[in-house]
């Protein structure tokens, strides 16, 4: 248009009389904002781009004021935080919104719950989109909260003065899992009740408090008064369980989680953000706009992703729940499948109660055990090799166990490769055997005693190269002996690899890095470490040698 006019009017000066009234956006904006109503809503109007106003943007805004007004440049780097903490909170909000909307359509009774799922899918406008967003958002939140924990660990952000907030974070992770788990039951389909049956059956194995746990008879626990009964409101997953889980999912746990999130944020602010300075005396940067825009973009990417998945992929829904028909296999929600995988190797009170309990307590204890002052607010592998290696080893183990549970377990919980059909009938696994009691006691004592003593007693630096070669010779000899006994090669390899991992992480690493620790910290750290490696060793002797129990004391329901 401008081209057409060009020859006729070389001077594009405005001709106010002839042209239609031009839309002056600036004037319009001024008109709209320069009045009492607007100014009463937005403080410090009109906005000016100077340091004072950028700061006021943060401190004068209810939603933004938990931020500091300035942060270190490192804190703005995507690859430092990956936006994970903020995204966890975003998903909490998204789940609250979609969850409240879903509550309008959902009735928590066994007769109606499943029907309401069908209504959401087939009759309610945006029903399936809401349900998908809630489902995928929940899985996303579990994933992101775990990743956030890994990030905080690797940047050393749990160290002094942030020890307490790390503990709050661990509790929040547990609550996130519990939120997701209580929601898992609500569709009231086969997937739901059997996953919850698997999950809550572990509660029955709690020592003292569960009717199937060790020493259950000391407190007179039966199936109808133990901790599982309290959780379910009955002896099986039924109408009461649905109501209990509904109330916990929609009211109790979100409230507690929300309160702890506030505490968590407040402490982040009070303890200051951990990012370490890039150079001494560096200038901090304004949170508005630098951090806010990054947070916004991260949130936008996350929401776009959840929307995309929710439009094109439907949340699973199986047959209506039937307590008389157990699917084979019955699996817990994916984030508990690591623990369910451990059920293959351990009794439920270890796999379902002791180990998760130790994991949570161990995580909470980390800031108090780790006295290494280095590597706060930065990814630093060099200065904290032991902490990073052991932590990442645990995380890798957790996810490998989950992957096995999700992809490699088929009917009868036998091993099926992902590409194998579950319709193939597999032979039963070989018969197992247990150590006699004396051998069990001796092995446990030897593992615990030597594992605790050796790294501390052996002074001086061990040459890792030599140690590993030495181990290789031992592994070969062991392998040859096992082969001589007629044990298949793959089993020998499994045993050798797991023994080697135990040797490295249970002995070499602690020997090099934990020597200087005081006695209390050393004992706690090394015993947690040995416990983790013990899980691996037990898996090794089961897979390689078909050992059921190292120590078997059936009279106390105590088998290890």
Partner 1 sequence: MTKRQLFYVFNFLILALFIAAVVVDNNREWKGYQAEFNRLEVIRLKEAMNKAPDEAEKSALAVAVKLKKREPVAIKQILANDLGRADRCITCHPGFDPLANPTLTTPYEKAPYKTPEVAEHKSHNLTKLACTSCHMGQGLATTVEDAHGEVPHWEEPMLKGVYIQASCVRCHGDFKTLKGAETAKRGKELVDRLGCVGCHSFNGVGGEISVDLGDIADKPVSRIDWSHTGECKGAECGPLPRHQWNVKNWIEAHFTKDTLLLVPGDPEGHQCAPGAHCEPVPPSGMPPFSAELSKEDAAAITTYLMGQTSNKVPSNYYVYSAKEPEPKFANAVEHGKFVFSKYGCAGCHGEGGKEGRRNYNAKANDQTKMEEGREPTLVKVVGNFTRDELRDKIKKGVPASAVAKFKEDGPTPPLYMPKWEEKIKGAELEDLMTYLFSIAEKQEAW
Instruction: Specify the stretch interacting with partner 1 by CB under 8 A; choose among 262-270, 321-329, 373-381, 468-476.
Output: 321-329
**Residue 349 and residue 209: Cα distance in Å, rounded?**
11
Contacts of 130 (CB under 8 A, 6+ apart): 98, 101, 102, 120, 124
CB count within 10 Å of CB 98 equals 21
98 binds partner 1 (CB under 8 A): no
Of 189 and 370, which has the nearer Cβ to partner 1?
Answer: 189
b/e code 45-68 from CB counts within 10 Å (16+ = b): eeeeeeeebbbbbbeeeeebeebb
Which one of 318, 334, 389, 434 is in contact with partner 1 (CB under 8 A)? 318
Interaction residues for partner 1, span 174-203 (CB under 8 A): 189-190
388 binds partner 1 (CB under 8 A): no
Of 120 and 363, which has the nearer Cβ to partner 1?
Answer: 120
206 binds partner 1 (CB under 8 A): no
Closest CA to 340 of 401, 411, 416: 401
End-to-end distance of the chain based on CA atoms, in angstroms?
84
28 binds partner 1 (CB under 8 A): no
Q: How far is CA 279 from CA 73, 74, 82, 165, 283, in A?
A: 10, 10, 22, 26, 9
**Residue 512 and residue 507: Cα distance in Å, rounded?**
9
112 binds partner 1 (CB under 8 A): no
Strand intervals (E) in 337-389: none
Contact pattern for partner 1 over residues 117 through 136, marking x by CB under 8 A: -xx-xxx-xx--x-------
Count of residues interacting with partner 1 (CB under 8 A): 40
Which one of 2, 9, 62, 423 is in contact with partner 1 (CB under 8 A)? 423
Instruction: Specify the stretch interacting with partner 1 by CB under 8 A; choose among 5-13, 254-262, 423-431, 532-540.
Output: 423-431
Of 163 and 318, which has the nearer Cβ to partner 1?
Answer: 318
319 binds partner 1 (CB under 8 A): yes
Q: Are 38 and 32 in contact (CB under 8 A)?
A: yes
428 binds partner 1 (CB under 8 A): yes
Residue with tokens 């020597």: 515
Tell me how far, at minimum, the Cβ of 465 lies from partner 1, in Å. 40
Which one of 317, 351, 355, 366 is in contact with partner 1 (CB under 8 A)? 317
286 three-state secondary structure: strand
Instruction: Specify the stretch interacting with partner 1 by CB under 8 A; choose among 227-235, 276-284, 306-314, 389-397.
Output: 306-314
486 binds partner 1 (CB under 8 A): no
Residue with tokens 């004992």: 523
Tell me how far, at minimum, the Cβ of 126 lies from partner 1, in Å. 5
Of 234 and 411, which has the nearer Cβ to partner 1?
Answer: 411
**Residue 560 and residue 346: Cα distance in Å, rounded?**
7
Which one of 64, 303, 344, 478 is in contact with partner 1 (CB under 8 A)? 303
DSSP 427: P
Of 432 and 520, which has the nearer Cβ to partner 1?
Answer: 432
Q: CA angle at residue 363 from 360 to 366, to 5 degrees?
A: 150
Of 307 and 415, which has the nearer Cβ to partner 1?
Answer: 307
Q: Are 546 and 487 in contact (CB under 8 A)?
A: no
331 binds partner 1 (CB under 8 A): no
Give the count of alpha carbons within 13 A of 154, CB side only.
Answer: 16
Of 259 and 311, which has the nearer Cβ to partner 1?
Answer: 311
Of 297 and 472, which has the nearer Cβ to partner 1?
Answer: 297
Distance of alpha carbon 385 from the chain centroid: 23
79 binds partner 1 (CB under 8 A): no
Q: Are 246 and 109 in contact (CB under 8 A)?
A: no
Which one of 93, 230, 297, 396 is in contact with partner 1 (CB under 8 A)? 297
Contacts of 199 (CB under 8 A, 6+ apart): 181, 332, 333, 336
115 binds partner 1 (CB under 8 A): yes
429 binds partner 1 (CB under 8 A): yes
419 three-state secondary structure: coil
385 binds partner 1 (CB under 8 A): no
3-state helix, strand, coil in the chain (%, to 5): 65, 0, 35
Of 490 and 556, which has the nearer Cβ to partner 1?
Answer: 490
304 binds partner 1 (CB under 8 A): yes
Which one of 280, 418, 427, 554 is in contact with partner 1 (CB under 8 A)? 427
Interface with partner 1 (CB under 8 A): 115, 118-119, 121-123, 125-126, 129, 189-190, 293-294, 296-297, 300-301, 303-304, 307-308, 310-311, 317-319, 322, 325, 327-328, 421, 423-431
């Amino acid at each position: 248009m401008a081209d057409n006019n060009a020859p006729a009017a070389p001077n594009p000066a405005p001709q106010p009389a002839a042209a239609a009234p031009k839309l002056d956006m600036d004037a319009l904006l001024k008109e709209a904002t320069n009045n009492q109503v607007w100014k009463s809503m937005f403080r410090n109007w009109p906005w000016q781009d100077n340091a004072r106003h950028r700061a006021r943007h943060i401190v004068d805004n209810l939603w933004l004021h938990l931020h500091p007004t300035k942060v270190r440049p490192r804190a703005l780097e995507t690859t430092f935080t990956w936006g994970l903490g903020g995204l966890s909170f975003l998903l909490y909000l998204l789940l609250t919104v979609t969850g409240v909307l879903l509550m309008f359509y959902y009735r928590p009774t066994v007769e109606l719950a499943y029907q309401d799922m069908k209504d959401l899918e087939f009759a309610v406008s945006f029903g399936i989109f809401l349900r998908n967003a809630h489902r995928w958002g929940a899985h996303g939140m579990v994933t992101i909260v775990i990743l956030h924990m890994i990030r905080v660990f690797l940047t050393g952000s749990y160290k002094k003065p942030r020890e307490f907030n790390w503990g709050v974070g661990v509790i929040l992770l547990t609550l996130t899992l519990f939120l997701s788990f209580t929601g898992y039951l609500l569709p009231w389909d086969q997937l739901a009740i059997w996953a919850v049956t698997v999950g809550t059956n572990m509660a029955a194995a709690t020592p003292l408090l569960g009717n199937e746990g060790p020493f259950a008879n000391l407190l007179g626990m039966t199936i109808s008064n133990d901790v599982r009964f309290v959780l379910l409101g009955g002896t099986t997953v039924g109408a009461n369980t649905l109501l209990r889980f509904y109330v916990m999912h929609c009211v109790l746990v979100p409230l507690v989680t929300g309160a702890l999130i506030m505490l968590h944020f407040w402490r982040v602010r009070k303890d200051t953000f951990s990012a370490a300075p890039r150079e001494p005396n560096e200038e901090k940067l304004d949170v508005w706009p630098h951090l806010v825009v990054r947070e916004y973009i991260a949130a936008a990417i996350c929401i776009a992703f959840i929307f995309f998945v929710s439009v094109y992929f439907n949340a699973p829904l199986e047959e209506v729940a039937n307590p008389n028909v157990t699917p084979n296999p019955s699996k817990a929600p994916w984030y508990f499948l690591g623990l369910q995988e451990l059920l293959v190797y351990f009794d439920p009170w270890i796999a379902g109660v002791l180990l998760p309990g130790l994991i949570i307590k161990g995580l909470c204890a980390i800031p108090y055990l780790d006295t290494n002052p280095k590597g706060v607010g930065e990814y630093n592998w060099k200065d904290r090799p032991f902490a990073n290696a052991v932590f990442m080893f645990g995380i890798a183990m957790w996810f490998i166990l989950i992957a096995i549970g999700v992809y490699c377990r088929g009917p009868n919980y036998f091993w099926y490769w992902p590409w194998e059909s579950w319709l193939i009938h597999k032979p039963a696994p070989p018969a197992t055997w247990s150590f006699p009691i004396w051998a069990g006691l001796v092995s446990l004592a030897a593992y615990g005693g030597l594992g605790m003593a050796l790294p501390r007693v052996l002074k001086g630096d061990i040459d890792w190269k030599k140690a590993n070669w030495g181990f290789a010779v031992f592994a070969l000899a062991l392998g040859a002996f096992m082969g001589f006994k007629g044990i298949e090669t793959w089993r020998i390899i499994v045993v050798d690899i797991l023994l080697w991992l135990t040797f490295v992480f249970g002995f070499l690493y602690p020997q090099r890095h934990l020597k200087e620790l005081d006695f209390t910290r050393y004992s706690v750290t090394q015993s947690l470490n040995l416990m983790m490696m013990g899980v691996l060793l037990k898996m090794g002797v089961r897979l390689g040698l078909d050992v059921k129990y190292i120590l078997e004391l059936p009279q106390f329901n105590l088998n290890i």
